[in-house]
Structure 1
Amino acid sequence: MKKEYKDKFPEFCSDFTKAYDLCLSDDSDSILVNNFLELETWNSTRFFYDFNMLYIEKGYKQQNPMVGCDISFVDGRCWDNHVTAISSKDIINPNSANLNSIDKINSKNNYTSKYAGSTLATVLSYYDYDISQLSEQAKMLIMCIDSHYYGFYSDRFHSTQKKWLVDVLEMDELYDIIKTHTEQDFIDLARSLNIKIPRQGKKDRDGKIWINKDGYLETEIDLKGISDILGTEITLPKQQFEPFFKQKEDEEYLILKTGYAKTDYISNREQVQKNIFSYSQTFKNSASYTYLYKVNPKQI
């Protein structure tokens, strides 16, 4: 990664003297980031977040700060890739390891200049992972994550995304892969691994990870196929999870709620919701977010 950008990343990214608890979310970008960070830096995944509920390993008493993997926390440590500001007035999370946050990208002023790549590519670049050892298919796989390839097949966005991939992330070999393959090549690979799931008459959806009724993680993503291509085992955490926010009978308690907003006429995040937990601009004029909501059981 270009030093000018790397030097602006939060301190926790390079501080291996402290223990952190990783938080996995619900797609392929997150599980690959999670596995890489477990191998290279911190080895404990204690949380799972599906954007409706935060879960914690059953019986675990939190001792360490949490680090989100491909999650746009408004406060707290996280690796992510989303635009998290509506305007320059919004306070950007200083502990977000996010190229768009570092470059002060927001939906009002410079949204089309955003980094539209994966969190995985950011992490691999930051930690100087040697991608030259990977097969051509493995390099294609990296570009499939979060549809990183997509912007390169648009005349409008190609030069911007090339700047991020080549000049900032310094991953020229991945750009070479773009030049020698069609967009359909990446679509076919992503679908074959259930990274993307086709839908009749609709845009492909992301393959998902979820909590089953017994509190264990399951996925439709082909982790074995991904592991075979990358030459390293990619796995889900095997422990049991339970809701982090506990329901109480005689006192107020917190839960998470999901919201969606059109941001065309909104000047800052507080106009959407003051108690935002995670937030991302899904498009220039729309956002997805979760917020903390206080429940009074006596009023239910």
Structure 2
Amino acid sequence: MENKIKEMFPNWCNDDKKKYELILTDDIDSLVSCALLNKIKGYKINYFYDFETVYKIKDSDTPAIAIDCDLVNGRCWSNHVTMLSANDTVNSKSANLNNVLKISRENYYQKYCGSTAMQIWSFYDLPLPESEEGKMALLAIDGGYLGYYDKRFINIHSKYLNMLGFDELIEVLERHTKSEFYDFIQKHNLHKKIGVNRNGILTTQIDLATLQGLFNLDLSRPEKPFYISKELSRDWPTNLMSNKTYTKDDFPDMFSVALIYRNKVVFTKK
């Protein structure tokens, strides 16, 4: 990642003196990101958040970082657009290119549209996977390949890969088609979710064994059961009026938030 961009991220990202716990969310982007932070920093998963309920393994006084989730307040690594307008507030503890660069609803199509895992990979200067398939897997996470195959977004997509220091991934995209990435995702169930079963154990149909090999990364999930810690209410995609300026103050008690299209926001409330 370019140093001038890295310096804009929150100071806690480089804090080697303090230990944190991780809040896993419900997809492969979060799981790979948690595995990276465990490998780099030794942080462990103690919470799971499915965007309706927060679960925990045990009580803890250790501060936590939400992974692939944009909290309105608190530490998090993520990749969504959260500013509902250029005048909206941004979470100063959010490690998210879109927040760092002040991407909002008003310049939505200039957003970073890669994965949270790719940001972490870049921020901590990790070497890319050695194999072609491993590089494809990294691009496939959270649809991180899609912008390259849309003529409206190819330039901004390549700009961000350059910013992250991943020019090599542009060459991978040149060698493959959009349908090849789609087939890869279907083959390895990268689109499947992570959930909690009736015994509190995390379950998923994602092909973790293959990804572990491709990334040389431990993608095992906590074996201990999770228990309900906090229940939230989820507002399914809310349509925003195209001619109105919004801020988070228009939606009281937000816990986490993400613009999923320019005029649609989804959030949970305390």
Alignment of 1:126-165 (within 5 A): 126-131=123-128, 134-165=130-161
Counterpart of 1:187, as a letter, is Y
Deviation string, structure 1 residues 15-71 (Cα, Å, up to 9, x no partner): 0110101000000100000111011113321100000100111xx222111101111
Root-mean-square deviation (CA), in Å? 1.1
Counterpart of 1:262, as a letter, is N
Contact 2:89–2:247 at 8 Å: present in 1 too?
A: no
* 3-state SS, counterpart of residue 71 of structure 2: coil
Aligned to 2:239: 262
* 3-state SS, counterpart of residue 137 of structure 1: helix
Measure the CA separation in 2 of the matches of 1:142 and 1:164. Answer: 15
Counterpart of 2:109, as a letter, is T
Is 1:171 aligned to residue 148 of structure 2? no
1:281 maps to which of 232, 236, 259: 259
Measure the CA separation in 1 of the matches of 2:142 and 2:217. Answer: 20
2:184 maps to which of 185, 189, 197: 189
Q: Which runs of 5+ in 1 are unaligned?
A: 197-206, 246-254, 293-300
Counterpart of 2:43, as a letter, is N
Contact 2:23–2:49 at 8 Å: present in 1 too?
A: yes
Counterpart of 1:237, as a letter, is P
Aligned to 1:231: 216
Alignment of 1:23-34 (within 5 A): 23-34=23-34
Q: Which runs of 5+ in 2 are unaligned?
A: none
| Max Rg structure | 1
TM-score, normalisation: structure 1: 0.87
Is 1:116 aligned to residue 113 of structure 2? yes
TM-score, normalisation: structure 2: 0.96
Q: CA deviation at 1:220?
A: 1.3
Measure the CA separation in 2 of the matches of 1:43 and 1:261. Answer: 34
* Off by >6 Å, runs of 4+ in structure 1: none
Q: CA deviation at 1:233?
A: 3.0
Measure the CA separation in 1 of the matches of 2:147 and 2:47. Answer: 32
Aligned to 1:101: 99
Aligned to 1:250: none
Measure the CA separation in 1 of the matches of 2:226 and 2:185. Answer: 29
Contact 2:48–2:54 at 8 Å: present in 1 too?
A: yes
Q: CA deviation at 1:230?
A: 2.2
Contact 1:224–1:233 at 8 Å: present in 2 too?
A: no
Counterpart of 1:105, as a letter, is I
* 3-state SS, counterpart of residue 233 of structure 2: strand
Q: CA deviation at 1:209?
A: 0.3
Measure the CA separation in 2 of the matches of 1:276 and 1:185. Answer: 38
Contact 1:24–1:49 at 8 Å: present in 2 too?
A: yes
* 3-state SS, counterpart of residue 129 of structure 1: coil
